[in-house]
A and B are shown apart, each in its own frame.
Chain A
Amino acid sequence: MEALGRAGIFLFQSAVGVPSREGWRLWLHQMHFVGVLSLAIVLVSGLFIGMVLALQGYTILVDFGAEQALGQMVALSLLRELAPVVAALLFAGRAGSALTAEIGLMKATEQLTSMEMIGVDPLRRVVAPRLWAGFVSLPILTVGFSVVGIWGGYLVGVEWLGVFEGSYWSNMQANVAFVSDIGNGMIKSVVFALVVTWIAVFQGYDLVPTSEGISRATTRTVVYSSLAVLGLDFVLTAIMFGGL
């Protein structure tokens, strides 16, 4: 409970405020580190998940003669669930753990303390750009995940298994609603971005500055983020699609 309070104050102090020109530069740098460098793993995973969805979906749908609905099935699974959740889990493993370890090591080597003594607030200089980079990049990565996943589904469903191309796309177009499917998926992704980045950065800032402390905090980042993402996904799905 006390840790949650500290984490809340920490989030407020670092995330709220108007960035300076230098702040934008640091943010861009972190966008590269957190966002661009996560692109490969997220897109490749998206491709495979789209392909697997199409393969599994086809074998079930074909029994009912409903393989024309493959496009709609792939798109809805990705947009509503798999893209936000899997991208967030990958993001926690790839970028979250790196953020924790980096900030933790800066703390252990007194870099944060020396920055404070120079009169620069590490919350604004070190933490804020990383937080905002995480907030912004995960939703973008999620979009990339969905797009590549749908293309992967097309490769397997249409090119390989021979589903009619027109029905793959037109069924998808007819049955995917912009607000309730794409919009809700994006809301999930924004929530996950906040939670995962917050956990990662706070774990780094708050850890015990020893090698053991850093290793534990990095583990905690991945475990807490994953549990939080899966738990919140259930809650959000219940609210959005469960009629709560």
Chain B
Amino acid sequence: MIDAPFIEIEDLYFSRGDHEIFRGVNMTIPRGKVTAIMGPSGTGKTTLLKLIGGQLTPERGRILIDGEDVHRLSRKALFTLRKRMGMLFQSGALFSDLDVFENVAFPLRVHTDLPDTMVRDLVLLKLQAVGLRGARHLTPAELSGGMARRVALARAVALDPELILYDEPFVGQDPISMGVLVQLIKRLNQALQLTSVVVSHDIKETLSIADYLYLIADGQVVAHGTPQTLDTNQDPRVSQFIHGAPDGPVPFHYPAEAFYSDILGGAPMTKLG
């Protein structure tokens, strides 16, 4: 069912300090589909996107994008590869010294020799698609978090990339722009034949647009499949996440010593007086 993968992740290991984030992750991300990577907060979903984008280097294993090993490319080849990718950051990460229009125009100006009039048309088209054509003269500081994310989306697709990486696209969106965004990701994917990777923990929205899902927890892929197969998956870790149970095999608490002994037996009591 997975044909011609665009991204292949093989036996990926990564840690930060003593904290192991990935322990042997394997994934194949199909071309032209929306693949969602889900998992509880702190499982390293954003880290995974940074590994795919070549900003972090794994300790073991490799990541192939369209057959090229991301971490074996020269710096120059890596930057060339990145022209074929767009990434939507959680914060938007707009350039604060440029206004909305120039932010979206930035990739066009640095990577193409298009005349100004054409850059203008393209930028306005992209801004129209995210509903912010009227906001073109605002600076990033004047935008709300949700608007900034939409401008960032327009910027990410400015060069019509083949791959878009979405880092938590639904966080902090109001219901209307959330709906718009869900539609936008889906439409973009169909219209431009993109490969999309969506990292998210918003289950409902993600299930509605994803063609394929990977669920990661404890540094490993715990389940993968289409939204339908995951919905009926009996693995307690999967059903806990998909159905949103507060505690279960995936603990709510960060690892700590037992609550009572921590509270009662912690620091020695200081004498009063």
Interface residues of A (CB under 8 A from B): 22, 105-106, 109-111, 113-121, 125
Contacts and interface: CB of A to CB of B under 8 A. Distances in A.
Interface in B67-111: 75, 79-83, 85-87, 89, 91, 93-96, 106-107, 109-111
Contacts of B80: 119
Nearest to A22: B110
Nearest to B167: A110
B82 A119 contact: yes
A18 to B, nearest CB: 14
A117 B55 CA distance: 8
Contact of A117 (B82, B91, B94): B82
A117 B110 contact: no
A119 B96 contact: no
B53 interface: yes
A114 B50 CA distance: 11
Instruction: Tell me whether chain A's interface is mostly helix, strand or loop, or mixed.
Output: helix
A113 B55 contact: yes
Nearest to A112: B93
23 contacts: A22-B110, A105-B96, A109-B91, A109-B96, A111-B93, A114-B87, A115-B95, A116-B55, A116-B82, A117-B53, A117-B85, A118-B82, A118-B106, A118-B110, A118-B155, A119-B80, A119-B83, A119-B107, A119-B110, A119-B111, A120-B110, A121-B75, A121-B79
Contacts of B55: 113, 116-117
A115 B106 CA distance: 9
Give the one of B55, B93, B109 with max A CB within 10 A. B93
A119 B87 contact: no
A44 B34 CA distance: 62
B145 to A, nearest CB: 12
A110 B85 contact: no
A118 B94 CA distance: 12
Contacts of B89: 110, 113-114
